[in-house]
Amino acid sequence: MMNTENILRPINYPDTVAGNSTSIIDDTAIINVMGVFGLPSTPFNPFLRLEEEITSLKNNKIQNIIIDVHAEATSEKRAVYQMFKDEVNIIYGTHTHIGTDDLEIYNNRCSYVSDIGMTGSLDGIIGMDQANPIKRFKEGVSNALDVVKESNNNIFQFLVIDLEDSLIKSAQKIKLYTKDNQKIISTAVNL
């Protein structure tokens, strides 16, 4: 399934790893890249791989390019933005599960945010049941993460970008959450 379905894997993983590093739909490419700081894997240099892939996509007349930066450090995500903001349309970060407040649009050509946020329970740790992460921090031993079975406090964070003719018309970070089963806040930042 990983090789036949349109499932992304980091572009800076070896080509022998299942999945595709870039997904192309019509005139839009989505690239996934894995950061190196603080993550357990040792992928290839993400910046060099991105340079190669973006050059290839531009040579193949791909109009719109989106980069999903799965990384621990916001500085690493921001470096991707500074390097490629003139070459791509959207750069968004994932992994830390905490939505950042740095959404911006550069010259109506590129939208950036360090981390979209998460969908999951606010009663756990990064949306997961708190028992195993706490055990890991106390004992230093990794355990599988479990989904919180029941929660009255949940969050759904996402990003909506209006991209038309390779220009960013608007960008919104939206956060919806419930507290004790009541919908409390729906916030949006418009640019």
In a 3-state reduction of DSSP, which class is residue 111? strand
Domain with 89, as residue range(s), is 22-117
Is there a domain that residue 131 lies in? no
How many structural domains compose the chain?
A: 1
Is there a domain that residue 99 lies in? yes
In this predicted structure, the answer to whether residue 189 has a pLDDT above a threshold of 60 is no
Place 20 in a pLDDT band, splitting at 50, 70 and 90: confident
In a 3-state reduction of DSSP, which class is residue 136? helix
Is there a domain that residue 101 lies in? yes
Burial class (CB in 10 A: 0-12, 13-18, 19+), 123: middle
Distances (CA, A) of 132 to 30, 41, 128: 33, 20, 9
Place 4 in a pLDDT band, splitting at 50, 70 and 90: low
Q: 87 Cβ partners below 8 Å, 6+ apart? A: 54, 58, 65
Is there a domain that residue 84 lies in? yes
Place 183 in a pLDDT band, splitting at 50, 70 and 90: confident
Is there a domain that residue 5 lies in? no
Give me 149's structure tokens. Answer: 């079975």
- Tens digit of pLDDT for each residue in 36-48? 887 777 789 999 9
Is there a domain that residue 77 lies in? yes
In this predicted structure, the answer to whether residue 191 has a pLDDT above a threshold of 70 is no
Spatial separation of the C-alpha atoms in residues 59 and 101, rounded to whole Å? 34
Is there a domain that residue 104 lies in? yes
- Tens digit of pLDDT for each residue in 23-81? 999 999 999 999 988 777 778 999 999 999 999 999 999 999 999 999 989 999 999 99
Is there a domain that residue 44 lies in? yes
In this predicted structure, the answer to whether residue 3 has a pLDDT above a threshold of 60 is no
- According to the model, what pLDDT value does residue 80 have? 97
- According to the model, what pLDDT value does residue 187 have? 58
CA angle 27, 74, 49 (to 5 degrees): 45
